[in-house]
Amino acid sequence: MKTSDKGVEMIKGFETLHLKAYLCPAGHYTIGWGHTKGVTPTQRISLTQAEVFLNEDIRTAEVCVSNIAGLKQNQFDALVSFVFNVGAQAFRNSTIRRLIVANSGNPAIRDEFMRWVYATVGGEKVVLPGLERRRKEEADMYFKNI
């Protein structure tokens, strides 16, 4: 399965395009639409390179989510956005993944999305309002038409 245009737009909407590296609230150098792998503090990229990074990062998230059978397109898109943001390893080891594999319609999955709204800032775990909005939209997309 591939991420739909709606799923890609959701990711782009939450990630915001940056052609110059910046330090995100969680302390990671980031560029393009949320790309973090190998980013250096002074790095600059073109829009074309930002698209390449975005497509690579989405593909990585798709591979991770593709291991779950029976997902509808909206569920797949929501989970790709989630994995794009939290990372494949974190998702593989998560309660949300275990709940989805056991029963993709379990209402408790919505609560699990909302557990992923924290970042460590200055050594302290804090709620990021942007993550709260993202998780709510991902959960709403996941449960659309269920």
The mean pLDDT value of the chain amounts to: 95
Interatomic CA distance for residues 107 and 112, integer angstroms: 9
- E runs forming strands in the chain: 18-23, 29-32, 118-121, 124-127
The fold for domain 5-142 equals Lysozyme (1.10.530)
64 catalytic residue (yes or no): no
**Tens of pLDDT, residues 107-121:** 999 999 999 999 887
- The one catalytic residue in 9, 15, 51, 64 is 15
Taking only Cα atoms into account, the Rg of the chain, rounded to an integer number of angstroms, comes to 15
**Tens of pLDDT, residues 80-132:** 999 999 999 999 999 999 999 999 999 999 999 999 999 887 888 999 999 99
15 catalytic residue (yes or no): yes
Average pLDDT over residues 20-29: 89
